[in-house]
Amino acid sequence: MHAQRLNLAIRLAVAIGVAWTFGGPPAIYAQALTTSGNTAAPYREGTLKAGGRTIHYLDWGPDGKPAFILVHALGHSAHNYDHVAPLLNQRHRVIAIDLRGHGDSDWSPKGEYSVEDYVSDLHALVTQLKLGPVTLIGCSIGGRVVQVYSGMYPDRVSKLIVLDVGPARPESTTRTLSDRIEREQQGWASEEELFASLRRNPTRVPEEVHRNQVRYESKRLANGRVVWKYDPKVVNGLGPIELWDYVKKIKAPTLYVIGGRSRLVTPEEQRQLKTLPFAEVITIPEAGHYPQEDTPELFLAVVKAFLAG
């Protein structure tokens, strides 16, 4: 009965979100964009040591509430959630982590970037900040990280949200990511050229979100070229690896959010996920691979419905 009520609540959130999409942006959408500069809900920056490396994170607070940890996609950083995190801390302490090799966290000298390596960074955050059972959300590679973490430490996770990724990673996905990383090492002549490259193709992502990414997730090299901050060796962690052995050990209620315009999670994999007794699978029709960027208003509606269930 609880699962049925939750299922209905999430689908109602999507229906409301779709109505917002075609009826114009709601107030909450404008608020999310306004707070992307963190003027309405400033965060605190923190660091910790994990395996000798410095791991950086952003903390929107407030202290004393259950922790909600946000994990970014490959090549991004904790700042990827700047525009939505301030709208999620009413009932939770919201924390976003920079995985090793990303953002302002240290790179791995040995190129250790497997999912399990990232999980060790996340576990260091949970244990060193003395966080109780946590809610986790992860997008793309971050979604793989939170699935593995929830299987390895099932009693430390109260709820889990996975954005547009499942337990499988086909070879085609590995090739696409590897090719993208290789291309991006050439860099751009300026931050404006980098920003223009993000806006070149039709996109639903608000301009403010892309500008925020350029501001926080890029850097200028000694030769003057602008590149993304991540370590190119993150490619070492790519490969057609499936995570079903971890996923089957998850205990927490889990929501898989699929982007309706993405093809990463196949219909067959979605059918398999729906057989898991602890999992819900929902599709946001207008979203692509990054629902929190493409359709932040629908993303927030779905996430809040799941957290309240």
Q: What is the pLDDT of residue 23?
A: 42
* Digit-coded pLDDT (tens) for 250-300: 999 999 999 999 999 999 999 999 999 999 999 998 899 999 999 998 999
Q: How far apart are the C-alpha atoms of 296 and 48, rounded to whole Å? A: 30
In the chain, the domains with their CATH numbers are: 2-308 (3.40.50.1820)
For residue 10, give the nearest of 286, 234, 283 by alpha carbon: 283
Residue 235 confidence (pLDDT) above 70: yes
- Token pair belonging to 65: 């509430």
Lowest average pLDDT, out of 32-41, 76-85, 170-179, 196-205, goes to 32-41
- Token pair belonging to 295: 């359709």
Buried b (16+ CB within 10 A) or exposed e, 253-287: bbbbbbbebbebbeeebeebbeeeebbbbbbbebb
The identity of residue 267, as a single letter, is P
Whether the CB-CB separation of 5 and 250 falls below 8 Å is answered with no
Instruction: Give the Cα-Cα-Cα angle 37, 29, 76 (nearest 5 degrees).
Output: 50
Q: How far apart are the C-alpha atoms of 51 and 201, rounded to whole Å? A: 40
Comparing 219 with 16, the larger pLDDT belongs to 219
Structure pTM? 0.89
pLDDT band at 9 (very low <50, low <70, confident <90, very high): low
Neighbours of 216 (CB within 10 A): 18
- Token pair belonging to 66: 């259950």
Average of per-residue pLDDT across 134-157:
97
* Digit-coded pLDDT (tens) for 19-38: 444 444 444 444 544 544 44
- Token pair belonging to 152: 């390895």
Residues contacting residue 206 through CB under 8 Å, at least 6 positions apart:
33, 83, 296
Averaged pLDDT of the chain: 88
